[in-house]
Structure 1
Amino acid sequence: MTETSDTRPADGEARAPRRSLLRTLLRYLPLIAPVLLWVVPCWVLLHTGQDWPMPVTLTGTGLFALGLVGMPLAMARGHGRRQEDRAAIAGDTLLGVSWVLFTWSVLLGVALRPALAVAGVGEGQDRARIVTWAILGVSAVLLAWGYTEARRVPRVRRLDVQLPRLGAGLDGVRVVLITDTHYGPLDRARWSARVSDTVNTLDADLVCHAGDIADGTADRRRAQASPLATVRATRARVYVTGNHEYYSEAQGWVDLMDELGWEPLRNRHVLLERGGDTLVVAGVDDVTAGSSGLAGHRADLAGALDGADPDLPVLLLAHQPKFIDRAAAAGVDLQLSGHTHGGQIWPFHHLVRLDQPALAGLSRHGARTVLYTSRGTGFWGPPFRVFAPSEITLLVLRSPNAPART
């Protein structure tokens, strides 16, 4: 088992200032972010010595102003009470475009012009225009590539995970993890069917969905989620809620997944038995469930493990990696999570790290607990993935007590 470096220390004193900083950022983000995302690239591309013809400057500035006004309005109509899918698509796309333009305006705007000066390339106006065209070119390439990455069927990521308490009879159990499918305004029913077909090639004993199925109610997104009924597993198909279910009638999603043949693990467990050995497969509601107002919805690890033999190994499904502190304290062997999307559009992962203890891959927590964080199977909001590829994950569980493999 190879550990990734995409983790931060689980130190309570270190987390407190970060959480305080995150709360402050989130409080003012809706006001500050749109201004920065549109004003900074507008200034760098048009008003830093390029001396464009007046029609070019006016037209470009007008387009950025339109984005600054239009993006929040479209997102409000798309994700607010009206839930207009066309508005959501427009707003989400503008958000992704502005983020990429902002990122590369800052990076290339700061680095490229001095580099050109040192290299003796051009004069002031020429250098400014070279920077502009470089930013536009890089952004266009990344957006085209990122859109393709977001809409493709994810690659399968396969890894072995050794669990010291796993019985020899369970060696080689194949666990497939999908998460964060985020069926939403863009109709992805065909994509959903292709994901299910890919999962069915992996000969899984256990298939897990770690939440954030969709953005929208089960009634609105049923057609996109329905192909999940075709997913095959020799032992079980299990599901836990993510935070986005609690934005859109979570109980409806629990009921639909049950209808599609998946077993919702709402603070409960099932047993996976093979070769005379047993694995406890448990699941908890998302950590946001308790504040949702839905009766009976909350993250309850004690309830999930109630009645399980404490000497048996435990695989836990919890949507957010931040649940790992509670899982490690309870001696869980393996937690499977999603939520982070691996940052989705670089360098957003730096903000994700403020809120979560892991970004992607395997990490160790406590004396024996291993966390696997998936980058997610789909995407949220902006239909782009830049340097954060989606995944379908195949984890092969290994026992140290199994006979040597040849």
Structure 2
Amino acid sequence: MTQTRQPRRPRQRTGRRPGVFAGVVVLALLLLFGVPWATLVLPWPTPVVVAGTVLFGIAAPAFPVLMFLGHGRGRDWAARIADTALGVVWVFFAWSVLSLVARVALLGVAEPRRSRIIAVLVLVIGVALVGYGVREAMRVPRIRRVEVTLPRLGSGLDGTTVALLTDTHFGPLDRTRWSRRTAAAVNALKPDIVAHAGDLADGTVEQRRAQVAPLGTITAPLARVYSTGNHEYFGEAQAWLDHMSSLGWDSLHNRHVVVERGGHRLIVAGIDDATARASGLDGHGAELDRALDGAPEDVPILLLAHQPKQIAETANQVDLQLAGHTHGGQIWPFHYLVRTDQPVLEGLSQHGTTQLYTSRGAGFWGPPLRVFAPSEITLITLRAP
């Protein structure tokens, strides 16, 4: 007898994934806020413990709510509070963990004096680093000068300068004045080419128009070029490409321009960020072949690709690749987590025949802090052999 195959029932959702995600969030909050609470609050008399517990007890559940309102619903006031809180609590969490070393060194000191000494040390170091970190984040980036020899560069282009600006992250904190000063710093270098390698802004063009406007005052005789970073794909990537074009920049959305000096040429190309294809935005996705379509043969290639790990797809096909994304770690010891995702944290590196320069970035994302990861505007001088 022939059996009729029954239609397969749709698989019911068990709710495990949301449950796992919620569990991870709760665990992260408990660690992020709980470790500093235990280090800074518990060693003291009851009134201090009660006051500190109330403070941490309010801050911990308020944090994800503010994050959601700020970055999920576009409320800049909430994002400013949440981002600042994240930076502060990360610094105190990291140094509370590191204080275990001091605890071992002070084994000969009786409790509660030992724990109180450690609490004071963590508090002093944390406050100092937060103050230093805010100053570093808000200052005009330092100029970092680098010389790069390109074997295929013609003598007519020897000495060509490229000002690399990346990861400006114009966002909830209004940095219009910083933007004007940064643009002036770039112009003071009198570069031949200016490149912005992505993560221009967080939010819509309408929200960040005033902060981005000073980039329109930057000048360069050979080219001003821009390519997308991953943060553009959280919102209006195409709108940002169009807006930068309206400011007079060449938006390198998988395309290139050719610059010439002294009878020699250089291809300046850009590809979309590594996350572009997954964004689902029509026509977006990193495509080097498309970017170089129609480019002249035997001409050196300078490529903008936001994430250093994109070198895996471009190595041995371009001469010099410019990246950002890492922020140099931004807030130590986050450096070590970044290195698990990217092949390089910052600086010049060699990958086959391709050289990669990774900038620490000009701005910051999230917490307005930079700890042991100074911002930079990079002036790259290209040298012929």
Q: CA deviation at 1:26?
A: 9.5
* 1:184 aligns with one of 165, 171, 180: 171
Q: Is 1:79 matched up with 2:71?
A: yes
State the partner residue of 2:250: 263
State the partner residue of 2:60: 68
Q: CA deviation at 1:28?
A: 7.2
Q: 1:187 & 1:29 partners in 2: Cα distance?
A: 32
Q: 1:86 & 1:28 partners in 2: Cα distance?
A: 27
State the partner residue of 1:15: none
* 2:40 aligns with one of 25, 45, 60: 45
| Mapping of residues 271-350 of structure 1, within 5 Å | 271-329=258-316, 331-350=317-336
Q: Which amino acid aligns with 2:94?
A: T
Instruction: Name the CA shift for 1:300/1:279 in 2 (closer, same or farther; >3 Å).
Output: same
Q: How many residues align?
A: 366
Q: 2:187 & 2:250 partners in 1: Cα distance?
A: 18
Instruction: Name the CA shift for 1:340/1:190 in 2 (closer, same or farther; >3 Å).
Output: same
Instruction: Name the CA shift for 1:92/1:334 in 2 (closer, same or farther; >3 Å).
Output: same
Which structure 1 segments of 5+ residues have no match? 1-24, 401-406
Q: Which amino acid aligns with 1:203?
A: K
* 1:59 aligns with one of 12, 27, 51: 51
**Sequence identity percentage:** 58
* 2:338 aligns with one of 349, 352, 360: 352
1:52-102 per-position Cα deviation (integer Å, ceiling 9, x unaligned): 22110011111112221111111110000x210010001001111110000
Q: 1:165 & 1:26 partners in 2: Cα distance?
A: 50
Q: 2:161 & 2:23 partners in 1: Cα distance?
A: 44
Q: 1:104 & 1:338 partners in 2: Cα distance?
A: 27
Q: CA deviation at 1:353?
A: 0.9
- SS of structure 2 residue aligned to 1:57: helix
1:190-232 per-position Cα deviation (integer Å, ceiling 9, x unaligned): 0000000000011111000001111101111000000000001
Q: Which amino acid aligns with 1:114?
A: V
Q: Is 1:135 matched up with 2:122?
A: yes
Q: CA deviation at 1:295?
A: 1.3
Q: Max radius of gyration: which structure?
A: 2
Q: 2:375 & 2:24 partners in 1: Cα distance?
A: 26
**TM-score for both structures, normalised by structure 2:** 0.93
* 1:369 aligns with one of 350, 354, 360: 354
Q: Which amino acid aligns with 2:369?
A: F
Q: Which amino acid aligns with 1:372?
A: Y
Which structure 2 segments of 5+ residues have no match? 1-19
Q: Which amino acid aligns with 2:338?
A: V
Instruction: Name the CA shift for 1:196/1:130 in 2 (closer, same or farther; >3 Å).
Output: same
Instruction: Name the CA shift for 1:28/1:360 in 2 (closer, same or farther; >3 Å).
Output: farther
1:318-364 per-position Cα deviation (integer Å, ceiling 9, x unaligned): 011111011114x2110000000011000101111111111100010
Q: 1:34 & 1:155 partners in 2: Cα distance?
A: 35
Q: Which amino acid aligns with 1:318?
A: A
Instruction: Name the CA shift for 1:30/1:315 in 2 (closer, same or farther; >3 Å).
Output: farther
